[in-house]
Amino acid sequence: MTAAPGTQAHTSPRSATPTAGTSPVDAPPHAYDAVLFASFGGPEGPEDVMPFLRNVTRGRGIPDERLEEVSHHYLALGGRSPINEQNRHLIAALEAELASRGIDLPVYWGNRNWEPYTARTVAQMHADGHERVLGLVTSAYSSYSSCRQYREDFGKALAENDLFGRLSIDKVRVYMNMPGFLDPVTDGVAAALSELAAEGHAPERTRILFSTHSIPLTMADASGPEETREEGSGGWYVAQHLAACRYVIEQLAARADRADATASPWELVYQSRSGAPHIPWLEPDINDVIERLASDGGTDAVVVVPIGFVTDHVEVVWDLDNEAKESAEEHHLGFRRVATAGGDPRFVAGLVDLIEERLGVRDSREVVTDFPACADICGVNCCRTARGPIVPTTSAVDSPADIATAVGPEASEQYLAAP
């Protein structure tokens, strides 16, 4: 997956490109009665850090000694994850945008790894009388951890609360290709290039590093529908990121004041690896790339673009604003880090556009990359990894046999009967 020096880092694998009929189905419009805003979660204070990290790594056999190392990242930020406050602001902005469009849908918040937990939120939604819920997640791409696991979270929440057949949760489509997500990023890259140019860094000697979370190669290859998989391709996860990067570069080149943008080479890099050393993950690591660029001698500055992230949470702040920045400074390279889209009104408007799609308010889907819109309903094996038993999901075409294996015959009848 590593690019030769001085080249664009990847080309989209043909096998990972969606084709007609690849994804099973687009959902018909429904009269949803609530929105479930689902996120990763994060500690609210120093005493929460280790319990939170144990939640994140549960079942992976990671010793507390390793978690103690990671805990220092959070403690350096006051023991709080920025994601919580960012989510509160994002939810408030969503509520305001929904109200401005005359859409009467309450927004509930549920997390995977910390309060408010998804299962408790789902129980509250049912207690409040809701029956058909639309899930909106803080992840824009296709993979197990960024899409399917959220659908499993919804399925587990329904199972834990015995709500199959009484409450349904659908998930909005993957949204890495909506303009509200990518246009704010484009603006940020343009501003960063201008600032570096003003400091004397020539565009052709400034490298744009689009960064996203590394994941195991097996998870990457399994991202997307089963029939698109090819070992070593990186799956839809890599293909979608490359499409997003290409869009940003094309938009920069189209601007009259950024006609020299194509002079700045770019590549897709990875960060935040957390797995065992013997398990291969997506590469190259951003810090290795910065070191390589410095040793090659053709780069004076880097623009770091966290294109794989929705908000500036701890992995963006620590891994980029601290570690990547230190790597650049150590090698005497100019450095700029672009903000994520999460706080931009265009992003909020785009999320409400996704809700309107599922309500049937919008006649078309606005997609700006060469990677087309994903379907609303995933296949049963979409983004499914080999690890662990089958887990009930929502917004998926699940077979009776799979659901019976996951939750038992009686629960499977309720699950499949859900509206």
Q: Are residues 183 and 331 in the same domain?
A: yes
Q: Are residues 211 and 275 in the same domain?
A: yes
- Is residue 109 over pLDDT 90? yes
Cα separation of 201 and 207, whole Å? 10
pTM: 0.90
Of 337, 354, 381, the position where a domain reaches its end is: 337
Tell me, what's the pLDDT at 8?
41
110-124, 206-220, 401-415: least confident range? 401-415
Q: What Å distances lie between residue 288 and 6, 201, 205, 292, CA to CA?
A: 15, 21, 18, 6
Residue 6 lies in a domain: no
Whether the Cβ atoms of residue 114 and residue 41 lie closer than 8 Å to each other: yes
- Is residue 22 over pLDDT 70? no
Number of domains in the chain: 2
Residue 5 lies in a domain: no
Q: What Å distances lie between residue 18 and 42, 143, 233, CA to CA?
A: 34, 14, 13
Residue 9 lies in a domain: no
Q: Are residues 182 and 302 in the same domain?
A: yes
- Is residue 16 over pLDDT 80? no
CATH number for the domain that contains residue 258: 3.40.50.1400
Tell me, what's the pLDDT at 407?
60
Q: Are residues 303 and 185 in the same domain?
A: yes
| Cα 275 to the center of its chain, rounded Å | 18
Residue 367 lies in a domain: yes
Share of the chain above pLDDT 90, in %: 69
Q: Are residues 182 and 170 in the same domain?
A: no
Q: Are residues 309 and 361 in the same domain?
A: no
The upper half-sphere exposure of residue 119, i.e. CA atoms within 13 Å in the direction of its Cβ, equals 12
Residue 391 lies in a domain: yes
Of 337, 361, 380, the position where a domain reaches its end is: 337
Residues 6 or more apart in contact with residue 106 via CB below 8 angstroms: 34, 35, 128, 130
Per-residue pLDDT tens digits for 28-67: 788 999 999 999 999 999 999 998 889 888 877 788 888 8
Residue 148 lies in a domain: yes
Q: Are residues 265 and 152 in the same domain?
A: no
Whether the Cβ atoms of residue 370 and residue 134 lie closer than 8 Å to each other: no
Q: Domain limits at 317?
A: 14-19+177-337
Tell me, what's the pLDDT at 390?
73
- The residue ranking higher by pLDDT, 1 or 91, is 91
- Is residue 160 over pLDDT 90? yes
Share of the chain above pLDDT 70, in %: 86
Per-residue pLDDT tens digits for 216-250: 999 999 999 988 999 999 999 999 999 999 999 99
Per-residue pLDDT tens digits for 240-297: 999 999 999 999 999 856 555 567 999 999 999 987 788 999 999 999 999 999 999 9
- The residue ranking higher by pLDDT, 407 or 366, is 366
- Is residue 401 over pLDDT 80? no
Report residue 379's pLDDT band, with 50, 70 and 90 as the boundaries: confident
Which whole number is the average pLDDT over 175-184?
Answer: 98
Residue 29 lies in a domain: no
Of 315, 337, 359, the position where a domain reaches its end is: 337
